[in-house]
Amino acid sequence: LKITTDIINQEQNEVMPKNLLERCIWFTVQLFLKQSCSEPYNGYRAKFLMIVFWISATYVLADVYSAQLTSQFARPAHEQPINNLQKLHRAILREGYRLYVEKDSSSLEMLQNGTEIFRNLYALMKKQTDYEGYLIDSVESGIKLIADGLENKVVMGGRETLYFNMKQFGFKTFQLSQKLYTRYSAVAVQLGCPFLDSLNEVLIRLFEGGILEKMTNAEYEALSRLVDVNGLTNKFEQQDGVNSNAAAATTDNNKENKKFKNQSSDYIIQPINLRMLQGAFIALGFGWGLAVGIFLLEFFFGNQYFSVFKRLNGCFQQLCRRLKLTCQNYWKRYFS
């Protein structure tokens, strides 16, 4: 009798407040930010609405925000470009960069015979305690040193040479401060030529339009292919008296190198795949579908659905009370 009266009193006291939606939204926001909050209402509708809000807030908003923050903070830092000799001098002093110069090159003569910043750079180069020192046989060997990635290294050379090596070894091998525009050094015309101004204007337009850059790129690519072909023919001429296995191995290695060069030069930036955010939208769609289904059930069945759910809720609460009383009696009997 006592249990039935409690159920009747509880049914009479269960009156849904008017601002239930606002309270549920505020409860979800507090739960998401503070991880603790008081429950505004004990009814099944409020619980269901809180579950829907919690799923949408946790599995959709948090997933999207965390993905955005991860993409922003996990982005690799861009190094400051070394555009002039002053920045190179500071990088050698503060960050421990090592400078290498080709033997018997104009860059080495400029450092040896120069003043101020050149003299300081040459003095810092001579302090390097590497086994190789600061002189290298060629710019290619210096680029191979940079490709090792063990230390911060700098190779000083002409920009046309670096551009050619960049085409040969690939853009990913080393980092350049700026894109190197190699252009034609001069155009010979007769003294007092009346077409000099118009010729300069045409050259400026060609350079601004990128036509000279495309011509230079095509020229260096053709030159690199010519160097590869000449290297292959020289190797085959030298290995005429050697067995065919060595020749086959050489051709295979050259084919692999060519494939790697083509992959590095033909690298195209592809769009980011959004498959990692697919679960968030699936959870959002599931929540919306479940909410629409419950709304249609309440709209069409109305009071029948409400009364059935009330009875189930009362039976469940009655079962919980009996289980609680049984546990208390068991505890008092055996442990007190």
| CATH classification at residue 129 | 3.40.190.10
- Are the CB atoms for 92 and 99 separated by under 8 Å? yes
Q: Does a structural domain hold residue 251?
A: no
Please check whether residues 176 and 111 belong to one and the same domain: yes
- Report residue 241's pLDDT band, with 50, 70 and 90 as the boundaries: very low
Task: For residue 45, give its domain range.
Answer: 2-73+280-335
Q: Is the pLDDT of residue 101 over 50?
A: yes
46 lies in a domain? yes
**88 in the same domain as 59:** no
Domain end point (choices 131, 151, 180): 180
Most confident of 144-158, 217-231, 236-250, 283-297: 283-297
Higher pLDDT: 67 or 240? It is 67
Higher pLDDT: 276 or 230? It is 276
Clarify whether residues 40 and 110 are in a common domain: no
Distance (Å, whole) CA 61 – CA 32: 10
Assess if residue 225 is contained within a domain.
Answer: no
Are residues 89 and 63 part of one domain?
no
Tell me, yes or no, whether 265 lies in a domain: no
227: in domain: no
**Would residue 272 count as lying in a domain?**
no
pLDDT of 116 over the 50 cut: yes
Number of domains, the chain: 2
The answer to whether the beta carbons of residues 265 and 170 sit under 8 Å apart is yes
Q: Which of 180, 215, 248 is at the close of a domain?
A: 180
Same domain membership, residue 89 and residue 43: no
Domain end position, chosen among 180, 210, 234: 180
Residue 210 lies in a domain: no
Does one domain contain both 119 and 152? yes
* Contact yes or no for 280/63 (Cβ under 8 A): yes
pLDDT for 32-41, tens place per residue?
A: 666 566 665 5
pTM for the full predicted model: 0.32
Residue 212 lies in a domain: no
Note whether 29 and 66 are same-domain residues.
yes
pLDDT, one tens digit per residue, over 16-33 is: 667 777 777 777 777 666
Q: Residue 180: is its pLDDT beyond 70?
A: no
Alpha carbon 207 to its chain's center = 33
Q: Which residues contact 265 (CB under 8 A, 6 or more apart)?
A: 167, 170, 171, 221
Which residues make Cβ contacts (< 8 Å) with residue 40, sequence separation at least 6?
17, 20, 23, 24, 26, 27, 46
Taking phi over 0 as left and psi of -120 to 50 as alpha, with beta for the rest, 269 belongs to beta
